[in-house]
Each structure stands twice: as C-alpha cells, then as structure tokens.
Amino acid sequence: MGRGRRWLAGILIIIGAGIIVYPFVPRLIYYLHHPTPTLPYVTRLTANSAVIKDLPHLPTIENKPVPKENRLLIPTIGVNMPILEGPNERTLDRGGIWHIPGTATPDQNGNFVVSGHRWQYLPPSSLTLYLLDKVKNGDPVIVYWRGLEYDYRIYGRATITPDRTDIQAPTNGPRLTIYTCTPLFSTKYRLVLFGQLIP
C-alpha cells in the first residue's frame, strides 16, 4: 500500500510539473530552433524584389492565392490570423486579431490598430501573439485587406499600462499598431509594436 501511494504521489508530481512547465515550452523551442519564416500567400515580398532587399528575414513563398478574408501575417513568429471586426474584445473569442473600432483601416491614411491574445493559444497555433516580443525592428508584417496587400516594417515598440489609449489615436500617415498583454500570463501591461507602411 505504501509503495502504491508513493507511485501515485510521484505520478501526480510529474503531471503537476508538466502542467506548470507546458506554457513555457514554446519559448524553449523558439530559443533552440528558430522557425523558418513562411508565407502561404502570393506576396510582393519575394526574394528578387527591391522591397525586401534590406529586410533581415526572407519568407518562403508557397504561392497560394491572396486570401479573400482580411488577414494579418507576422512570418518571423508564425502568425497568420484573420482580422476580426466587432464592438469589444469579446470579438477575440472567435480566434483571430481584433481591429480596434474607430481606428483606420489599411486602405486609409491613418493608424490601423489591432490587438490579439498572448497566451490563450500557444504555438504552433498561428492565432497567437505569444512570441510578439521576439519580433525585431525591421521585421515584415503583411496585411491582406479587402483583396489587397499592405506591407509594413516594424520600427518601434513600447511597454505601457492598459489605460494608455493614446496608442489608438489618429496619425497623420499610415501606421500599423499591434498590441497584446505582457508579461506572459499577465494583463498588467501592454506590449505595443509599431509598423511603417512599405510603399
């Protein structure tokens, strides 16, 4: 009986440790083996294009047609998610990235603001901003909006408190603003990345 209880206790400890460690496994995998950036859609960001001559990461093109639905891709961290429209953050429950109401769209000359979950979905899901902190300045972000492609280059970042709504303010020119919760498994702050439209 004593031996059986020890085995059961050992198994429960292992299961508990696994549950605790599991959310951090994607970060370990990322450190050990960076994923090869890939793009499933036709894009102007091809290896022979002058547009990307100074981008640090070149995607592998699979040449599927441009998607009919609005999508946001961050190739360096494997993000490929639908852009969702809705009145509040419960829109995110549909699985995607939320276009903040009242902010510009990519076809307008303003601040296109989107927000997504950081840890509701874990990699290798493409519906998560879990690795957003790994995106570097200069990395490409591709938005497909109403059948057209809009390419951005990340140029800055900030960590702010949730009450900082100024990141959603209109801008004089086109800008992409992406934000999510930080640090991991906390909603204390927001990690914000800013992208400049590539002409």
pLDDT reported for residue 3: 74
Checking if the pLDDT of 27 tops 80, the result is no
Span 159-188, pLDDT tens digits: 999 999 999 999 999 999 999 999 988 999
pLDDT reported for residue 42: 81
The reply to whether 69 and 88 lie within a common domain is yes
pLDDT reported for residue 184: 86
The reply to whether 98 and 27 lie within a common domain is no
Write out the two tokens for 77: 């961290």
The reply to whether 6 and 54 lie within a common domain is no
Handedness of CA 60, 63, 64, 69 (dihedral sign): positive
The reply to whether 77 and 22 lie within a common domain is no
Q: What are phi and psi of 105, to 5 degrees?
A: -105, 165
The reply to whether 21 and 40 lie within a common domain is no
The reply to whether 176 and 135 lie within a common domain is yes
The reply to whether 4 and 65 lie within a common domain is no
**Residues spanned by the domain of 7:** 1-33
Q: Distance between CA 173 and CA 111 in Å, rounded?
A: 7
The reply to whether 42 and 111 lie within a common domain is yes
- Confidence category of residue 10, pLDDT binned at 50, 70, 90: confident
Spatial CB neighbours of 136, under 8 Å, sequence gap ≥ 6: 56, 76, 154
Span 105-154, pLDDT tens digits: 999 999 999 999 998 777 778 889 999 999 999 889 999 999 999 999 99
- Confidence category of residue 13, pLDDT binned at 50, 70, 90: confident
Q: Which is more confidently placed, 35 or 199? A: 199
Span 37-81, pLDDT tens digits: 778 888 877 655 555 556 555 566 777 888 999 999 998 888 999
The reply to whether 86 and 179 lie within a common domain is yes
Checking if the pLDDT of 26 tops 80, the result is no
Q: Lowest mean pLDDT: which of 60-64, 96-100, 106-110, 189-193? A: 60-64
pLDDT reported for residue 58: 59
Q: What are phi and psi of 152, to 5 degrees?
A: -125, 155
Write out the two tokens for 178: 């992406």
pTM: 0.84
Please give the tally of structural domains in the chain: 2
The CATH number of the domain holding residue 183 is 2.40.260.10
The reply to whether 141 and 44 lie within a common domain is yes
The reply to whether 61 and 23 lie within a common domain is no
| Residues 44 and 149 sit within 8 Å (Cβ to Cβ) | yes
pLDDT reported for residue 84: 97
Selection from 176, 184, 127, 128 nearest residue 159 by Cα:
184
Write out the two tokens for 13: 């400890």
Q: What angle do CA 177, 110, 91 make, to 5 degrees?
A: 50
